[in-house]
Structure formats: C-alpha cells, structure tokens
Chain A
Amino acid sequence: MTSFDETELRLGLPGDGGNKTIEGGATAVHNSGKRGYDETIMDLKLKLSSHDQETKIDHDQKKHSSANPPAKAQVVGWPPVRSYRKNMLSVQKKSTLHNEEGNDSSPSFGTKGNGGGGAAFVKVSMDGAPYLRKVDLRMYKSYQDLSDALGNMFSSFTIGNCGSQGLKDFMNESKLMDLLNNSDYVPTYEDKDGDWMLVGDVPWE
C-alpha cells in the first residue's frame, strides 16, 4: 500500500484569526477540540501515488500556525461506503486521467494493483469549519481556478451549517467571494521548505 502524503491547504477567514465560534448545534463538539467520540485519521486505501511537494496555502494575511484549530481528520468508516466501491471508483478515475494525459490508449486494467500516476489530492481546512475537504489539484488549470473552487466549496458549506442568523449573514456566499477576491488579500502558501511563497511565483504546472 503506497503511503499517502497529503498536502494541507488552510483557508483563514479574513479577520477571524481562527474563529472558533462558527458553530451550529452539535458541531460545537468538534470545534472545541474535546472530542467525546473516537475519531481517527481515515485510512484511505485509495492507492494514490504519493505527492512529494507539501504546500500550504493560506489566504489570510497573517500566518496561522498555532492559532488555527487542529485540522479535522476525516472519520473512519464514514461515509459508509465499502472499500471495494471506493477503490473501484478511484481506480477508474486514475485510468481516465491516465488516458487524458495522452498515455497508452488502453487503460491499464487487468493487472494486479493499480497503475501509477493519479489524482493529486490535497486536504483543505478552513478555520472554523468542522471538517476538511479534499481537492484534486489536477482538476484545476490555474491558481485562479483553484481559488474559485475553494471559494465555492466553503461558501456552500458554511451556509449549510451555520447555527445562527448573524453568522449566516456574515458567511453568505457573495460576501465570502468578495473577501476572497478582495485585493487586500494576497494568497500565500507555505512550501515544503517552510518558506512563504506568493501565489503565482511558481507556475501552476
């Protein structure tokens, strides 16, 4: 089983500084850091190739290290989809990507295990959001695409899960998009050497 190096993208809400009060109902349990229930990092068994580069994209101007809530790991056995099914879908996605890159035109089925080359999954966490997301970097062609997608991802999430009206207003989609696109904020990320880089310095590819 290939080990799975994950990269972590962190989205800090501007001005929030790791706001932990965005909670609704029982989701408070997760933000408090005190978990009553056993949750462990999920063993993906997706046999994805490891991703060497570690990047951390932080949309907040300030560096958040200790101020951020701990990245919420996904839960074992949830959602309840059988490994067989998960593997089948991920293997097919890899084959499709394999083809799209102009490689061998017949997918490499028929062999034991799964072919190389694959999706580049990256964990994204947003401060205050109880759960991580996974993003396949190969789905995006540019930083702007990724930024748009992340914006959509988290805005729809927050609308769905906010507990109080006031927070809901704050967190509505258009406002969030404005904030993300606002020129006061310059997207930055932390690369594997721990250096902060301006988005766009390194070409997307």
Chain B
Amino acid sequence: MTSSFPEEVLEHVFSFITSHKDRNVVSLVCKSWYEIERWCRRRVFIGNCYAVSPEIMIRRFPEVRAVELKGKPHFADFNLVPEGWGGYFYPWIVEMAKAYPLLEEIKLKRMVVSDEGLEMIGRSFRCFKVLILSSCEGFSTDGLAAIAANCRNLRELDLRESEVEDLSGHWLSHFPDACTSLESLNMSCLSSEVSLSALQRLVARSPKLKTLRLNRAVPLEKLSTLLLRAPQLVEMGTGAYSADIHSDVYSSLAAAFSKCKELKSLSGFWDVDPYYLPVFYSVCSRLTFLNLSYATIQSPDVSKIISQCPNLQRLWVLDYIEDSGLNTLSLSCKDLRELRVFPSDPFIADANVSLTEQGLVAVSEGCPKLQSVLYFCRQMSNSALITIANNRPNLTCFRLCILEPRAPDYLTFEPLDTGFGAIVDQCKGLQRLSLSGLLTDRVFEYIGKHAKKLEMLSIAFAGDSDLGLHHVLSGCDSLRKLEIRDCPFGDKALLANVSKLETMRSLWMSSCAVSLGACKLLSRKMPRLNVEVIDEQGDLDSRPDNCAVEKLYIYRTVAGPRLDTPSFIQTMGQNTAYRLP
C-alpha cells in the first residue's frame, strides 16, 4: 500500500509527534508508516534493557539521537536485588558507538556503568550533549573526567543519586576552558571536594547555566561567589548549609540570593544551620520546587519557609515538618501538586516527631491540585484514607508507607482495606499506588475492580491468599509494573494469569510462595517471557519442584534469555526445546 502523501510530508507531520507512546502507535498504522517512522525516530525509550537488544534497537531505528535505558528492578533501591544482578551499560555503548556517531543524549537509570563506558562516550560522539545517570553505579570520578574533557559541547551532566567511586574532585578541572555550553550540572551525590576556583571559573564561563546542584563538600562561605557568577540560575542545590558565624557570610549570601530573579528550585541543605535560612527568603515567592529532604530543621523553621512560598508546586521534606507544618502547607501553598515526606528516623518505631495521618489529611483538604503523594508515617486509619480519597479524587500517585509492617487502623484495629479501597474507587486516574499496613485479600478485590488506570503497584506484607494476586492480575487493565514482597501469593494466581504477564513490563516477587515448578511451567507456557529465579543459596537444579523460590523476576522480551546472568540467577526453560525460534 503506497501512502497518499509523499514521505517528506509524513516525516514532517511525525516530527510533531514526540511522545513515545504516540510514536509507537503511529508505527503500527501500516507498513509504510512503520518504515517512515522508524527512519525519523530520534528518541528511543527502553524501560527494561533486557526486553530488547542493542542490535534490535539499532536495526529498527538507525538515526537515533537520544537513548534512554532502565536496568535493575525498582526494588534494587531497597537492597532487595543482589549485587551482580546485571543491567550493564557496556554492551549498549559498544554497539551505539558504531551505529550512532551523531548521538547526543544518553539517559540511564539503575544501570551499571563503567569508566570504560564513559570513556567510550567521550570518544565516540562528537555532538554529545546530555548525560543523565540516575541511581547508577560502577563508575568513578575518572570516568567523569573523561566526559568533562572530551565532550566539547556538553550541555548537561546529571549524576542524580548515583553511587560513584569518588577518587578525587579533580574531574571537574577537566572541563576545557573552551567549554562554555554547560546548562545543567548535578554533582550532589559526590562526596569529595572539587577545586572551588575551577568550579567558579566553570560557572563564570557558562552563561547558559540554568541548573547547578552542588555537593555537600562545597562550603556555604563559597556559595555567594558562585551565585553572583550565575544570577540566571533556575535550579540550585546548595552544599553544606552551615558555617562559622560571620556576619559577612550571611549578608553576602542574602545579597547574592536577591539577585537570582529566575530561581525556582532549591535543594541541598545538608548540615543545615537555621541561622542561615533567612538568606533565601527573597526567592521564596518564586519557588516551585523545594527539596528539604536532607534538612534536619524543625517544624517552626520549615513552616516559616513554606508560608512564604505561595507558588510552591513540589515539596520534599523530612517528617520534622510534623502535622503543624503540613497544616501551614495546606494554608499557604494552594498550587501544590506533589508532596513527599521522608522519615527522619526510619528504624525506630516510636514517634520521634509529631507527624500523623492528620498532616496528610490537612494537605488533601487544603491543596486542590495535589496529585502525587509519598508519605512515611507511623499510624493510619481507614477514616483518614477515605477522607483523603474524597478530598482528592485527582490523585495520580499515592504511595503510603506506614513504617510498621502490617500495622492496622490505629483507631479500630481493622485492616486498612476500606481506606485503600476508597482511594482506588475515588481516584479514577490513579497511575501509581504503594500499599502498606494490615491488608487482606479484600483490598486487592477493590484494586482489581476499580484501579483501571493503575500502571504501577507495590505490595509488601499484605494479603491472605492467591486470590489477592489474582484480583490484581485479572482486574488491573493498565498494569505495567508489579512488585511484591513478603506476601502469601503462590502458584495458582500466577498460572491462572500467564498471558497477562506479557502485557506488562515486569513482575517482581520476593519472599512469596511461588514454587520452582510453577516457574518452570510458566516459562514453558510463555516463551516470550524471561522467568528469572534468583536464589543465593545455589544448586537450584537439585531442588524439588515444590520448593518456594526466594526471588522471582519475570519480564517480557524479544531478545530471549539474557547471557549475563550471574551464578545465582537462572532463567527458566533455557534448556528446553519449547522456545520459539
């Protein structure tokens, strides 16, 4: 079938379609659209690096300029995924270096990146502009030096929350004097000191610098000189936020902040000394994002800041904010979209702060645009959850972590089924949900019935039987990622919903009740799934089929079983003749 439009016209039309989902849909219309689309696709997103191979990606999309890859499962953030699991960047960079000389952007999340891989980036792409390494590991500051030295037109270097082997701060000095293109630098996860004069010179010669997130080693005394050289900054992360008390540090900081008319986002605040907080009050009225999640300041200081931020859209804060601070938030920040409250002391179950479910209820009442919640607390009730659900049917992301596993409604001692049920019932657009507290199969019945837009679900210490899992797998039409730990879910639900698994990106189950035999059976029934059993005790071959597996990671793939599994991971069905060619 020939297209009625010339290719160039279609290409031009497609250039306005940028979302990955839309481009995927476009490519399915007909063969000629598939062909045209694949030649003009510039940005590729691969949510599971093992779902496809570099060769397949390159074969289909020959002219890519930006690649985004994700590696390890989300639960790797909480040490549930053993070291050596995988997610290696190297096989990708080797192929991309050959196939994409004009590559400009690489964004990686939870992948293992080596210095060699970073050096290859520096060598292979003369137009390279953007490197974002989110929660990655495996590289050192030597690799960063290679990037700084070789990427002449580097626009963005963002190391958010990566684990970097910090050999020295010298890497920063590798940015050549001729490099003036930097727009974004996030080095907040590094611990060693960089040369402050090199940093100052870099900032001074980067007129387009919009984002600068410093690390803890940059002293507060030096912050004002940096700010004075970059008054155009939009996003700024401080270093350590305390100093020996000198009045000129205070006044020069206040003066520097007052010149930052574009500043909308603040973070950092390690080792915070409340004495220095007022220096940035002059920018509060413009702030849309405030990350105080490392700031160990008490509720009155937090409230003082928040009450001056009427345009705040996103707040990340420690539970030191307490209910009183959240009340202030609900009164002052009517534009709030996202709230994250982190625990200051996660490992003590007693309440070291006065933060309860009431704080969240208050914010749900006062902030009509609230869409996204991450909330750690020590007590919750069904009535609070129901109130929150009724107040905020526009929630799209609701992650609640009651610190004590299986904690019931603290007022009635009942499970929290009805509370979460109200959330999924009222919040019809809910895309992400994390459950906690005492929960029976009933909550999963509600979720399967109502959570039709839910894409990601995290479950821990919940449920009574396979029925719970069955409700989710059979009812949640939009489910892409499911991660489960310590739940009594076993073979029945899994084997009754095998085809569902191919419609999802991945399923993680650890410390549940799935048997080895079921894993083998699943793998035989569904050849396009990789069913990976993680078992650190070894000798899976000699185990009976009815023994429960420790951890299980199932994902759809067109690349077959991966070849880099460590000894403690076995892909089921690898040796059988049942796989499709």
Chain A residue at minimum C-beta to C-beta distance from B193: A110
Number of interface residues of B (CB under 8 A): 58
- How many contacting A-B pairs (Cβ < 8 A)? 127
A107:B79 contact, CB within 8 angstroms:
no
Are A160 and B410 in contact, with the CB atoms below 8 A? Answer: yes
Cβ–Cβ contact A109 & B405, under 8 A: no
Known: A76-B79, A161-B408. A25 touches B415 (CB 8 A): yes
Min CB–CB distance A93 → chain B (angstroms): 7
The answer for the CA separation of A92 and B240 in the assembled complex, in Å, is 10
Q: In the complex, what distance in Å separates the CA atom of A95 from the CA atom of B458? A: 35
Contact with A along B174-192 (1 / 0, CB 8 A): 0000000000000001011
Chain B residue contacts of A80, Cβ below 8 A: 77-78, 401, 434, 458, 460
- Number of chain A interface residues as a range: 35 or more
Q: Tell me the complex Cα distance, A44–B79, Å.
A: 10
Which residue from A25, A85, A135 sits with its C-beta under 8 Å from B413?
A: A25
**CB <8 Å contact, A92 and B407:** no
Stretch at the interface among B197-205, B279-287, B304-312, B345-353: B345-353
The reply to whether B485 and A77 form a contact with Cβ atoms under 8 Å apart is: yes
Is B296 a contact of A112 with CB atoms below 8 Å?
no
Please measure, in the bound complex, the distance between the C-alpha atom of A100 and the C-alpha atom of B244, giving whole angstroms: 14
Cα distance, A112 to B347, chains bound together (Å):
25
**16 A–B pairs (Cβ distance < 8 Å), ordered by A:** A37-B486, A75-B486, A77-B485, A80-B77, A81-B78, A81-B342, A82-B77, A82-B78, A110-B192, A110-B217, A112-B166, A160-B404, A160-B410, A161-B407, A162-B413, A163-B413
Tell me what chain B mostly uses at the interface: helix, strand, loop, or mixed.
loop
Does the CB pair A26–B166 fall under 8 Å?
no
CB pair B342–A156 under 8 Å, yes or no, is no
Given A110-B193, A133-B349; A43-B403 close (CB under 8 Å) = no
Given contacts A110-B191, A161-B408, contact A79 B376 (CB under 8 A): yes
Q: Which residues of the other chain, A, contact B574 by a CB distance below 8 angstroms?
A: none
Distance from B378 Cβ to chain A, minimum over Cβ atoms (Å): 8
Q: Could you say which residues of chain A place their CB within 8 Å of the CB of B244?
A: 105-106
Does the CB pair A77–B403 fall under 8 Å?
no
Task: Find chain B residues with CB under 8 A from A63 CB.
Answer: none
Partner of A77, one of B75, B271, B378: B75
Identify which of A77, A79, A89, A96 contacts B79 (C-beta below 8 A): A77
Q: Which residues of A contact B (CB under 8 A)?
A: 24-27, 36-39, 43-44, 74-86, 88-89, 92-93, 95-96, 105-107, 109-112, 131, 133-135, 152-153, 156-157, 160-163
Chain B residue contacts of A39, Cβ below 8 A: 486, 511
Could you give, for residues 393-435 of chain B, a 1 whenever the CB lies within 8 Å of some chain A CB and a 0 otherwise?
A: 0000000010111111010010100000000000000000010
A187 to B394, CA, bound (A): 54
Docked Cα-Cα span, A150 to B438, in Å, equals 25
Q: Could you say which of B270, B350, B413, B550 contacts A109, with CB atoms under 8 Å apart?
A: B270
Given the interface contacts A43-B79, A78-B78, A160-B379, does A107 sit within 8 Å of B242 by beta carbon?
A: yes
Q: Which residues of A contact B510 (CB under 8 A)?
A: 38
**B347 contacts which chain A residues (CB < 8 A)?**
44, 74, 134
**Any A CB within 8 A of the CB of B383:** no
Interface positions, chain B 333-350, Cβ under 8 Å from A, are 342-344, 346-350
In the assembled complex, the Cα of A27 lies from the Cα of B415 at a distance in Å of 12
* Most chain B C-beta atoms within 10 Å of own C-beta, residue among A27, A83, A109: A109
In contact, A25 and B406 (Cβ under 8 angstroms): yes
What distance in Å separates the Cβ of B573 from its nearest Cβ neighbour in chain A?
A: 24
B40-90: which have CB < 8 Å to A?
A: 75, 77-80
A61 to B346, CA, bound (A): 32
List the B residue with the shortest CB-CB distance to A45. Answer: B79
Query: Are the C-beta atoms of A79 and B403 separated by less than 8 Å?
Result: yes
Chain A residue with minimal CB distance to B218? A110
What chain A residues lie within 8 Å of B318 (beta carbons)?
89
Q: Does B276 contact A (CB under 8 A)?
A: no
The 3 tightest CB contacts between A and B, nearest first, are A77-B78, A110-B217, A153-B350
Sample of 16 further A-B pairs with CB below 8 A, known A38-B550, A112-B191: A25-B413, A77-B75, A77-B78, A81-B343, A82-B78, A89-B296, A89-B344, A109-B216, A109-B217, A112-B166, A134-B348, A153-B348, A157-B349, A160-B404, A160-B410, A161-B407
Shortest C-beta distance, B376 to chain A (Å), equals 7
